[in-house]
Amino acid sequence: MAREYRMLIGGKWQSGNSRREVKNKYDGSVLGTIPIAEAGDIEQAIATAQQAFPTLAALPAYQRSEMLGKAVDLLKQRREEIARMIAAEAGKALKFARVEADRGIKTFTFAAEEAKRIHGETVPLDATPAGATHMGFYLRVPVGVVVAISPFNFPLNLVAHKVAPALAAGNTVVLKPATATPLTSVILGEILSEAGIPAGALNIIFGDGRTVGDQLVSDPRPAKITFTGSPPVGRHIMSRAGLKKVTLELGNSSPTIIDQDADLSVAVPKCVVGSFYNSGQVCLSVHRV
């Protein structure tokens, strides 16, 4: 029987009123079912993240670093499980799924290291006579609740790009992974919970962008939105976000130039892999030669 996965809200795994199947992209078998978040679930996830924010923000940098470091250890222990889940739910070749698992580990490693290096700078003010005897400085502080909306093609590493730095800086997160590939995020949620992040620091909810995503980005409480996906959706998010910080990673067209003196026996196979790896579903795949 397929596993019934749950949403993570306030440190607890919760069911919903309606469910959706997640299928193995190779053979069409059902990997599991996920609950589809309703308005009340979304409200609870945002409110919980907002309530947890002062706790996480107040943690010393070394404690945030240690929690992320423990997550790295747990990611390493579950590497093969994660890779096989990526391969199944995303349809990615297992050898490339293992590469993604390793990249996710590195992303959390970098975040654990950088958590101890988030600081401001001093600013000399002697550019004018009035400031000759003065000095200024600034500090970097967490922004608050971060809404993270991730795509289907890298269900671990693109989630890690959003979640790991946010937690390292002391921000809480409401994550909405792609509905086609949500199960890897569940494993990550289990790992971060075991690593000791405060309840509510990471919330994971599922659903379509038109409903769940729209409510998340238009709510006034989150301070930042990070989204990876298509330009039309990026434009829609900007129109709905209001006065929030917004980071968009959208589509592109990647040219590749092969010089006349290039070794074609090396260049051609690399262009083929660069173009067709993961069926071309990569942000920086080769589009034009």
Catalytic residue list: 249, 283
Q: Which two tokens stand for residue 209?
A: 């962008």
The per-residue DSSP string of the chain comes to --EE--EEETTEEE--SSEEEEE-TTT--EEEEEEPP-HHHHHHHHHHHHHHHHHHHHS-HHHHHHHHHHHHHHHHHTHHHHHHHHHHHH---HHHHHHHHHHHHHHHHHHHHHGGG---EEEE-TTSGGGTT-EEEE-----SEEEEE--SS-TTHHHHHHHHHHHHTT-EEEEE--TTS-HHHHHHHHHHHHHTPPTTSEEE----IIIIIHHHHH-SS-SEEEEES-HHHHHHHHHHH-SSEEEEE-----B----TTS-HHHHHHHHHHHHHGGGG-STT---B-
Please state, in angstroms and as integers, the Cα–Cα distance from residue 221 to each residue in 30, 213, 248, following that order.
36, 14, 19
CB 209 within 8 A of CB 233: yes
